[in-house]
Structures are given as structure tokens and as C-alpha cells.
């Protein structure tokens, strides 16, 4: 049982480039989410999904897009990378609202 | 005032010591409470949920004080392996998945 699989682990982008962070879970969880973690700040919610075909914005959604075509996958797209998006990104899933979160291993993203 | 506040530490304690962390939350409508553990450069992992009656898991005890709006984590007989950052997580309303808020974490270093 792999849990939450997140790729890549590391990525360096130039300003203006686009990319997709991949996230997949094999626990049949309805709820999936993306967080970013910056020094001195708690994890902040970017986007979340309560099921296939349903997504919504979190606390810091600007500059990011998501889609949820299947229960398993929840990719995060950076449309035009900016240095302010340099951060560690975590994907998470849970059985329901306010339930235990299972996290992927994270992506260290640097935007130059 | 931040929604969830933690003392960032670091707490440097000798092996075998007892250490306690507090976490305060500002929204009285908060309904769910958790402690997560995060090792350096790793993903957060659930340590324990916090219930109204308090709960214990081995050397770890979590308590909730709704009147004063704080939760606590007590670690007895500290081990070197307990060295990590402990994240307080608060769900602000039932069913409000997007309203889960992370504290910035308290760093614990257990010294031989």
C-alpha cells in the first residue's frame, strides 16, 4: 500500500516556466489537498477537492490550478512560475473533513 | 492574532525528561484538534488526535482546554527519536475541510 505518492521530489524552474506536480493516492480517499510550507509559517492550503470533478480554492490559490478527473489523482499546475512560489509543497488525502491527513513526501521547488 | 499559535522553541531537553507543549487557538467554534510530528525535510505525520476528555498513547498525552482555548502535548521519558517539530492542527468548524489550520510548529531536540 503506497499511500500518497508525490512527484517530483525536487524541481528548479525559471521565472515564467510552467510545470505540474503529480499526486496520487491508493486509499480511495475522497478528500485531497495541496499545501505549501514556508519558513516561519504553518502549512497553508492552496487548493482542495472533495471528490472527482469537484475542486475549490484554499487560502493561497493564486498562480495555481488543479483538476480532479479521478479519485486517485490530484495534480497541481503552476501556470507561470514566480520566485514567490519557491516553497515545499505537500499533497495530502483524507477520508473526510477534519479526518487524519496522509501526506506525500513533498516537493522542494525553487523558482529562479 | 494568529488562528493557531505555538511557541517555536527550540526546546532542548535531556533524555528521560518530561516536556510539554501548548498550542492556543483563537476561534471558539473550532471542533477538531490534532498533533502532527514532522521530521526535518519530511512530511508531517499524525501523532495523535485530541479529544475533549484528553487521551494518552504510550508516553504521549494530549489535552484540550476549551475554556482557555488551548491544547497541550506532554511527552514523558523523552527519547532521542522524539526530536522533531510538533505541529498543532485545528479544524475550525465541523465539515469545514478547508478550514483546517496548522500552527508553525514547536521544535524539540532531545539531548543525550
The pLDDT tens digits of the residues spanning A10-58 come to: 999 999 999 999 999 999 999 999 999 998 888 999 999 989 999 999 8
| CB of A75 less than 8 A from some CB of B | no
Whole-number pLDDT of residue B53: 87
Question: What pLDDT score was predicted for residue A41?
Answer: 85
Q: A92 near A4, Cβ under 8 Å?
A: yes
**Chain B residue numbers touching A106 (CB-CB < 8 A):** 41-43
Among candidate residues B31, B5, B4, B10, the one with its CA nearest the CA of residue B82? B10
Interchain pair B104, A40: CB under 8 A: yes
Strand B100-102, strand B19-25: pairing? unpaired
Strands A64-66 and A76-78: antiparallel
Contact B44 A41 (CB under 8 A): no
CA nearest B46 in A: which residue? A100
- Residues A66-77, mean pLDDT to the nearest whole number: 97
pLDDT at A71 over 90: yes
Q: Which of B4, B41, B97 sits opposite A98 (nearest CB)?
A: B97
pLDDT category at B98 given cuts 50, 70, 90 is low
Q: How far is it, in rounded angstroms, from Cα A38 to Cα A93?
A: 20
pLDDT of residue A98: 72
Nearest-by-Cβ selection for A45 from B44, B95, B98? B98
Q: SS3 of B29, please?
A: coil
Judge whether residue A81 has pLDDT over 60.
yes
CB A43 within 8 A of CB A104: no
**A104 phi and psi, to 5 degrees?**
-75, 175
Residue B97 has pLDDT above 80, yes or no: no
Please state, for a pLDDT cut of 90, what percent of chain B lies above it.
75
Answer whether A98 sits within 8 Å of B49, measured CB to CB: no
Q: Is B21 helix (H, G, I), strand (E, B) or coil?
A: strand
B82: Cα within 13 Å, side-chain hemisphere: 26
Is the CB of residue A56 less than 8 Å away from at least one CB of chain B?
Answer: yes
**Kind and range of the H or E element at B5?**
strand B4-6
- Which stretch of A54-58, A63-67, B91-95 has the lowest confidence by average pLDDT? B91-95
State the cell numbers at A60: 493561497
Asked if pLDDT for residue B94 goes beyond 60, the answer is: no
- Summarize pLDDT for B38-92 with one digit per residue, the tens: 999 899 999 999 988 889 999 999 999 999 999 999 999 999 999 999 999 998 7
Q: pLDDT band for B95, please (50, 70, 90 cuts).
A: low
Kindly identify which residue of chain A lies nearest to residue B47, measuring between CA atoms.
A100
Beta strands in chain A, from DSSP E residues, in sequence order = 4-7, 10-13, 19-25, 31-37, 44-51, 54-57, 64-66, 76-78, 87-94, 102-103, 107-111
Tell me which of A42, A47, A49 to substitute to probe the interface with B (most B C-beta atoms closer than 10 Å): A42
Who among A43, A56, A108 is closest to B98 (CB)?
A56
Task: Summarize pLDDT for A83-97 with one digit per residue, the tens.
Answer: 999 999 999 999 877
- Interface residue A41 vs chain B (CB under 8 A): yes
The reported pLDDT for the residue numbered A1 is: 65
Q: Give the span between the Cα atoms of A38 and A17, in whole angstroms.
A: 21
8 Å CB contact of A100 and B34 = yes
Which backbone phi and psi does B95 adopt, to 5 degrees?
A: 80, -5
pLDDT of residue A112: 96
Residues B51/A40/B42/A77 CA torsion (nearest 10 deg): 100
Are B32 and B22 a contacting pair, CB within 8 Å? no
- pLDDT-derived band at A99 (thresholds 50, 70, 90) equals confident
Amino acid at each position: 500500500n503506497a499511500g500518497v505518492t508525490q512527484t517530483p521530489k525536487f524541481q528548479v524552474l525559471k521565472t515564467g516556466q510552467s510545470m505540474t506536480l503529480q499526486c496520487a493516492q491508493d486509499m480511495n480517499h475522497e478528500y485531497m489537498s495541496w499545501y505549501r510550507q514556508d519558513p516561519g509559517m504553518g502549512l497553508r492550503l492552496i487548493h482542495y477537492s472533495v471528490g472527482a470533478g469537484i475542486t475549490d480554492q484554499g487560502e493561497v490559490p493564486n498562480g495555481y490550478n488543479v483538476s480532479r478527473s479521478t479519485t486517485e489523482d490530484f495534480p497541481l499546475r503552476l501556470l507561470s512560475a514566480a520566485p514567490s512560489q519557491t516553497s515545499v509543497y505537500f499533497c495530502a488525502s483524507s477520508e473526510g473533513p477534519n479526518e487524519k491527513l496522509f501526506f506525500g513526501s513533498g516537493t522542494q521547488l525553487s523558482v529562479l | 492574532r494568529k488562528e493557531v499559535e505555538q511557541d517555536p522553541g527550540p526546546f532542548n531537553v535531556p533524555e528521560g525528561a518530561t516536556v510539554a507543549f501548548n498550542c492556543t487557538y483563537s476561534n471558539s467554534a473550532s471542533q477538531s484538534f490534532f498533533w502532527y510530528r514532522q521530521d526535518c525535510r519530511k512530511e508531517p505525520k499524525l501523532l495523535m488526535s485530541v479529544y475533549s476528555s484528553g487521551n494518552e498513547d504510550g508516553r504521549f498525552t494530549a489535552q484540550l482546554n476549551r475554556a482557555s482555548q488551548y491544547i497541550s502535548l506532554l511527552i514523558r521519558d523523552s527519547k532521542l527519536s522524539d526530536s522533531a517539530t510538533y505541529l498543532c492542527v485545528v479544524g475550525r468548524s465541523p465539515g469545514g475541510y478547508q478550514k483546517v489550520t496548522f500552527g508553525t510548529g514547536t521544535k524539540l531536540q532531545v539531548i543525550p
